[in-house]
Chain A
Amino acid sequence: MGLSAFSKCLPIQEGQPWEMKTPADIISTVEFNHTGELLATGDKGGRVVIFQREPESKNAPHSQGEYDVYSTFQSHEPEFDYLKSLEIEEKINKIKWLPQQNAAHSLLSTNDKTIKLWKITERDKRPEGYNLKDEEGKLKDLSTVTSLQVPVLKPMDLMVEVSPRRIFANGHTYHINSISVNSDCETYMSADDLRINLWHLAITDRSFNIVDIKPANMEDLTEVITASEFHPHHCNLFVYSSSKGSLRLCDMRAAALCDKHSKLFEEPEDPSNRSFFSEIISSVSDVKFSHSGRYMLTRDYLTVKVWDLNMEARPIETYQVHDYLRSKLCSLYENDCIFDKFECAWNGSDSVIMTGAYNNFFRMFDRNTKRDVTLEASRESSKPRAVLKPRRVCVGGKRRRDDISVDSLDFTKKILHTAWHPAENIIAIAATNNLYIFQDKVNSEMH
């Protein structure tokens, strides 16, 4: 399957992509739940919108498996830190779903400082036939009650209720960049620029610090934590990435404070490519374990890399996302685009990897065939049943008709957040304040 399938990529929504109600609300995170039935998005305004996949119906075959809004709620509000005279943004940095253990769904959402556990429940029945009160809840006149009845549950219109069950506050001095739920389903970790904390999902007034890279003297600070994740199967292992491009795999069984890594993954610098921007472009913006748990995927400014947990010396695969930007690094430094943090994603079978780029382009790489494709998330491409056309950026030389030149790329249109359905070929792409959901209609199953 791989990429040939995604050349038949169709937008899953009839009509336009989902647009946030307030145009100023930029989507800041996208995450499928473990079955792919639910898709959560967080935005800059602190809101979470959850989409649910409609079951496929024979009556309307072209609306198979569309995602519709399931619930919207305000997760975080702007706060003011009076001690430091600083505003705390309500922007949702990350959402992670908890594995479903009963009828309710739960997720963790976090802004820069505070993590919240939300419980999402459905109510589709209500009790009727009370003895002491009537339908509106008013007390009945007892003289009218002649017999006793047992209240019965009757169906009602579906109501989705969301409630905050835990608030994990005051755990971080610096900005939280990632959260990750442990495979033990009891603990999770949160990482900021300098520290990583381990929490128990049921305990909010206490957390354990498991990584601390803050130097005694802040003047000596040269490296920060950029992302972190628990291993999908081994509850004692986690990885964190740094701004210097290194990955550290840590084992919580070894010590309470995991400052000493078990494994250090670092690629030696290529001296012929060295420039003043080498360090900045090597900074890892995202790290994701493969579903198998055997590999890690990292994203730095120009590439995505696949690492084998058994080999620390270098990645086993490197894919160029937009190498044509290498000669533009100074301008991108000037306009701050070089600091953009792109995320990356595995497909369910770990055979294809995906990441975003500029000009609303996103890229996919097939690890088996070594082929890659560039697609665009735009309103044109999301017309009903329109197949996504592969795009190409030309870097001089022969230019084909629909090619875009490097100088015409729109650097304000960046796709930082992407997600892949855990089992099927369905992807969610966040392009500023628009959410696009694409499906491969030809090969729905992953192989």
Chain B
Amino acid sequence: MFTRGLKRKCVGHEEDMEGALAGLKTVSSYSLQRQSLLDMSLVKLQLCHMLVEPNLCRSVLIANTVRQIQEEMTQDGTWRSVTPQEAGRAPLDRLVSTEILCRSAWEQEGARPAPGLGDGHVQGPVSDLCPVTSAQAPRHPQSGIWELDGPREDRGGFHKSLDQIFETLETKNPGCMEELFSDVDSPYYDLDTVLTGMVGGARPGPCEGLEGLAPATPGPSSSCKSDLGELDHVVEILVET
């Protein structure tokens, strides 16, 4: 029932959505979406962090979004410190009914659930990202969407990771990324490698080089060639999983 309601669908399945997400669930649905947005933002920040020359404007905007979510969650009392590890493993089928998030917080109270993800046709990496990360999902059965308030490891606070990201953005070198996530174990890193490879290495250009899992468009960045080889290898492993 949960899965059906929250799966990406086109507009026609509106009625199913309404049935599945009754009043009570609207509020928890908002929390889920907010959590998904937070996770997505953290992944984006990490991507920024790993790329050759992070786009400062984009990083600042994403970081501000994360802060906003954090503030609201603190006010709600639902704030739990998020670890980069957890963020990276969020399966993408949690990113549904995104229109809920796009409306104001006031509208959320008793608001009708939005029709299913009508933006399934939006061009971009999203549909291409799915095959990769859904392969990841079986590894982490506990992060299912119905486990709202499951205990999470406290890894020393969110503030610290965000600030570290900014510091290292300034004095950027590939070594910094290693330092920041040095205690993260390998499956997470694989996801990052894949995501890095998909974004195309040199620049976080929107929608550029994000078509499917094809290697990035040839650019001046020679530092990514080894990543691309690794990407193919990692993709093979993931697909076989």
Contact = CB atoms under 8 A, between A and B. Distances in A.
B184 interface: no
Interface string A396-440: 000000000001111110100000000000000000000000000
B105 A277 contact: no
Interface in B142-185: 162-163, 166-167, 169-174
Interface string B103-117: 111100000001001
Interface stretch (B18-26, B76-84, B121-129, B232-240): B121-129
Interface stretch (A50-58, A60-68, A80-88, A149-157): A80-88
A335 B166 contact: no
A193 B56 contact: yes
Contacts of A412: 123-124, 207, 211
25 contacts: A84-B172, A89-B203, A90-B220, A219-B162, A222-B60, A224-B60, A276-B34, A276-B68, A280-B61, A280-B65, A283-B61, A326-B102, A327-B102, A330-B95, A330-B98, A330-B101, A331-B98, A334-B95, A335-B124, A336-B206, A337-B122, A337-B207, A409-B123, A411-B123, A412-B123
Most chain A C-beta atoms within 10 Å of own C-beta, residue among B40, B60, B61, B221: B61
Contacts of B33: 330
B166 A221 contact: yes
A291 interface: no
B102 A277 contact: yes
Nearest to B53: A86
B28 interface: no
Interface stretch (A117-125, A129-137, A246-254, A266-274): A266-274
Interface of B: 10, 33-34, 37, 40, 44, 52-53, 55-58, 60-61, 63-65, 68-69, 95, 98-99, 101-106, 114, 117-126, 162-163, 166-167, 169-174, 202-207, 210-211, 217-218, 220-221, 223
A224 B56 contact: yes
**Top 5 A-B pairs ranked by shortest CB distance?**
A335-B124, A330-B98, A336-B206, A78-B220, A407-B121
Contacts of A408: 121
Nearest to B165: A219
Given A276-B65, A339-B58, A331 B172 contact: no
Contacts of A280: 61, 65
B202 A85 contact: no
A276 B69 contact: yes
A272 B174 CA distance: 43
A254 to B, nearest CB: 27
B99 A327 contact: yes
Given A330-B95, A334-B126, A335-B210, 6 more contacts: A89-B53, A274-B104, A276-B68, A279-B64, A330-B33, A335-B206
A328 B206 CA distance: 16
A330 B203 contact: no
Contacts of A194: 56
A178 interface: no
Given A24-B218, A84-B173, A218 B101 contact: no
A16 B119 CA distance: 33
Given A243-B57, A274-B105, A339-B61, A330 B120 contact: no
B217 to A, nearest CB: 6
Contacts of A221: 60, 166
Given A274-B104, A279-B65, A331 B117 contact: yes
Interface of A: 24, 78, 84-90, 112, 174-175, 193-194, 218-219, 221-224, 226, 243, 271-277, 279-280, 283, 326-337, 339-340, 407-412, 414
B102 A330 contact: yes
A221 B62 CA distance: 12
Nearest to A225: B57
A414 B207 CA distance: 10
A410 B207 CA distance: 11
A175 B206 CA distance: 17
Nearest to A331: B119
B104 A407 contact: no
A175 B65 contact: no
A193 B53 CA distance: 13
A329 B104 CA distance: 12
Given A332-B122, A334-B95, A407-B121, A340 B206 contact: yes
A172 to B, nearest CB: 12
B154 to A, nearest CB: 21
Contact of B202 (A84, A87, A277): A87
A335 B125 contact: yes
A12 B105 CA distance: 49
Nearest to B72: A276
A271 B107 CA distance: 11
Given A85-B173, A334-B98, A275 B104 contact: yes
A409 B207 CA distance: 14
Contact of B104 (A226, A243, A271, A410): A271
A86 B172 contact: yes
A280 B61 CA distance: 6
B174 A218 contact: no
A411 B124 contact: yes
Contacts of B123: 335, 409-412
A94 to B, nearest CB: 15
Contacts of B171: 84
Contacts of B170: 218
A336 B104 CA distance: 21
Contacts of A78: 220
Nearest to B61: A280
